[in-house]
Amino acid sequence: MHHLNSVAELRSLREAWRANGQTIAFVPTMGNLHAGHLSLVEHAKQLADRVIVSIFVNPMQFGANEDLDNYPRTLAADQAALISAGADALFTPTVSDVYPRGLDAQTVVEVPGISDILCGASRPGHFQGVATVVCKLFNMVQPEHAVFGQKDYQQLMVIRLMANDLSMPISIHGVPTAREASGLALSSRNGYLSEAQRAAATAIYASLQSIAEGLRNGMPQDALIASALAGWQDVGLTPDYLSIRRQADLGIPSEQDTHLVILAAAFAGTTRLIDNLEVNFTEVD
Ligand code: PAF
């Protein structure tokens, strides 16, 4: 596996592969790789001749009181995992490579309408930071395909809209969430959890499943949400949000909407965890 530290090295490898007619699938990450990330690499390998993974802990998407400084950085283990997974290249730019004029002077990408609801309401500026860095990484790597996890449902939608709005010639792919046997969605932030918090956090996916079941049985949305929140309280989870939305635009669904997604964000101690579950009803005439 090639390890590329600079944009110049990345470009020259990219050009050599392009000259051989090889296509690229790109997996952007912030490192501390787990089985969920490796499933993105596996998916990427099916899409293109070469797979490039980036590891960059992006300061622009962290708020002032968030975990930027403590975010787990595990480069040696990540490199070993990527070699086993069969990635062709790892790109690890520095903050000054990505933001040469500093964060405050950086041109930004804002995807309107969707960036300030749900996670965006709790984390102001987060999706601007995500859209900006992903746009920059896309311009550096110039892939034909890019692969993201569906656990970050809203992020995936922001990136799809950005790529579409800015006419980027890149196909965006979402890969289903990898889970522990308990149902807990894999996340780099799970490493912050105590055993008790990890056990409590399993209530997040369990509540998504019971809300989905209730929706299929025609139960009222408000009652389903209230009951799930009571369950969270019982195990000591603090809700950020728990909401049933339309898949198309994450708006509030009407009675007629048939493609829904239940989105959750909760704190186990100080660790913020997110998850989601789609619910599709068959349309009847
Ligand atoms: O999902 C992530 O790990 C990050 O938000 C991403 C897409 C790599 C951008 O920094």
What is the per-residue pLDDT across 43-92, written as a single tens digit (0 to 9) for each?
A: 999 999 999 999 999 999 999 999 999 999 999 999 999 999 999 999 99
Q: Is the CB–ligand 1 distance for residue 154 below 6 Å?
A: no
What pLDDT does 282 receive?
Answer: 84
Average pLDDT over residues 5-29: 97
Domains and CATH numbers, the chain: 2-175 (3.40.50.620), 188-278 (3.30.1300.10)
Judge whether residue 243 has pLDDT over 60. Answer: yes
Q: Is the CB–ligand 1 distance for residue 130 below 6 Å?
A: yes
What 3-state DSSP class applies to 240? strand
Interior CA angle at 72 toward 134 and 111, to 5°?
25
Residue given tokens 């730019």 in the structure block = 93
What pLDDT does 206 receive?
Answer: 98
What pLDDT does 285 receive?
Answer: 54
Share of the chain above pLDDT 70, in %: 99
Per-chain mean pLDDT for the chain = 97
CA distance 272 to 201: 10
Average pLDDT over residues 266-277: 98
Q: What is the pLDDT of residues 148-165, one digit of tens each?
A: 999 999 999 999 999 999
* d(CA 130, ligand 1 centre) in Å: 6
Considering Cα of 270, then 206, then 233, then 258, what sign does the dihedral take? positive
Q: Which of 60, 74, 126, 133 to mutate to test the pocket of ligand 1 (most atoms within 8 A of CB)?
A: 133
CA distance 6 to 14: 12
**Relative to the CA of 28, which ligand 1 atom is closest?**
8
Closest CA to 191 of 85, 90, 70: 70
**Relative to the CA of 30, which ligand 1 atom is closest?**
3
What pLDDT does 163 receive?
Answer: 98
Judge whether residue 283 has pLDDT over 80. Answer: no
Judge whether residue 284 has pLDDT over 60. Answer: no
Q: Tell me the catalytic residues.
A: 37
What pLDDT does 10 receive?
Answer: 98
What pLDDT does 115 receive?
Answer: 98
3-state percent helix, strand, coil for the chain, nearest multiple of 5: 40, 20, 40
What is the reported pTM? 0.97
CB 183 within 8 A of CB 202: yes
**Relative to the CA of 188, which ligand 1 atom is closest?**
3
Average pLDDT over residues 96-102: 97
The phi, psi pair for 226, rounded to 5°, reads -60, -40
